[in-house]
Amino acid sequence: MLVAAALLMVGGVSAQKQTGGEKNLEVNFAPLGGNPISIGGIKFRTFTSENSALRLNLFVGSSSDKTVTAQEGELSLEDPTSPALYSWDRSFDLTIRPGYEIHFDGTDRLSPYVGAELDLGFGNTSTEDESWGPNDVDNIGELGNNVVWTETNKTGYFRFGINLLAGFDFYFADNIYLGGELGFGFSSMSMGDSTVEVSDQTAYNLANFNDPDADLPADVENGSTFNVGPNVNGAIRLGYLFN
């Protein structure tokens, strides 16, 4: 409220809000949080009229972290040239939330609205670990014939939901606003099977089962979750209009 009051004084007596035909981008603003400016995706709106808007929230995120699990020469006192080994943690997330808003007259500065949006998302995670060992029964104990092989564990998800929304835009200067939003909705998330992939199955089998002809672990089914209830955007929305 203090931030809004300060901006109100800066903005003067009047501030122009949407009249129809404008476009809009916004970010989340949390002045008391550890990360004051954040982007939980890119939110875009286009006002089809003074009282209606199409909206789209898009988030694409990807990460890859590499760590050293063994230094060169660390794996064997008998072979100081044993290789360094690494591990990778990777993730990918995509969220698409198309929606529609109906705005009410409010005041010269205030534009309250209700709306609805779909929530579509999917993603995956994987962990890839390197190991060093024989890939032939006849080479067991012959360190010079060891190979580096990888084991990758993967899983994913798909999410579908619908949210009913209520919020407001408060224009403290021409075409620039602060806002808040809350809603009520449901979402269903289906988790993909956990799978194991290896670059050298014989080496994997010898390391884990001491049997070159063993089978890979079967895929593990992870099930699904269902949620229904209120939701709220805990940050202040900060955005601007443009033509």
DSSP state of 163: E
Per-residue confidence band for 232, with pLDDT thresholds at 50, 70 and 90: confident
Q: Residue 163: beta bridge partners?
A: 117, 185
Q: Give the pLDDT confidence score for residue 144 in this predicted structure.
A: 87
Residue 210: Cβ-neighbour burial (10 angstroms; 0-12, 13-18, 19+): exposed
Q: Give the pLDDT confidence score for residue 46 in this predicted structure.
A: 98
Q: By percentage, how much of the chain surpasses pLDDT 90?
A: 74
Domain annotation covers residue 69: yes
Q: Give the pLDDT confidence score for residue 96 in this predicted structure.
A: 97
Q: Residue 208: beta bridge partners?
A: none
Domain annotation covers residue 222: yes
Domain annotation covers residue 14: no
Domain membership of residue 115 as a residue range: 2-9+20-242
Task: Give the N- to C-terminal CA distance of the chain in Å, as an integer.
Answer: 29
Distance CA 52, CA 105 (A): 11
Cβ atoms of 182 and 163 within 8 Å: the answer is no
Domain annotation covers residue 189: yes
Nearest Cα neighbor of 45 from 34, 33, 37, 53 is 53
Domain annotation covers residue 186: yes
Domain CATH for 201: 2.40.160
Domain annotation covers residue 33: yes
Q: Give the pLDDT confidence score for residue 87 in this predicted structure.
A: 98
Nearest Cα neighbor of 163 from 220, 101, 207 is 101
Is 80 exceeded by the pLDDT of residue 11?
Answer: no
Q: Give the pLDDT confidence score for residue 135 in this predicted structure.
A: 94
Q: Give the pLDDT confidence score for residue 14 in this predicted structure.
A: 65
Q: Give the pLDDT confidence score for residue 4 in this predicted structure.
A: 46
| Number of separate domains in the chain | 1
Mean pLDDT along residues 9-35: 78
Q: pLDDT tens for residues 35-91? A: 777 777 899 999 999 999 999 999 999 999 999 999 998 988 777 778 999 999 999
Q: pLDDT tens for residues 159-214? A: 999 999 999 999 999 999 999 999 999 999 999 999 999 999 999 999 999 888 89
CA 54 remoteness from chain centre: 23
Q: Give the pLDDT confidence score for residue 80 in this predicted structure.
A: 78
Domain annotation covers residue 15: no
Q: pLDDT tens for residues 101-146? A: 999 999 999 999 999 999 999 999 999 999 999 999 998 988 889 9
Residue 226: CB partners within 8 Å, gap ≥ 6? 186, 187, 188, 189
Mean pLDDT along residues 217-240: 93
Mean pLDDT along residues 13-18: 79
Q: Give the pLDDT confidence score for residue 2 in this predicted structure.
A: 39
Which token pair is 53?
């808007």
Is 50 exceeded by the pLDDT of residue 25?
Answer: yes
Is 90 exceeded by the pLDDT of residue 234?
Answer: no
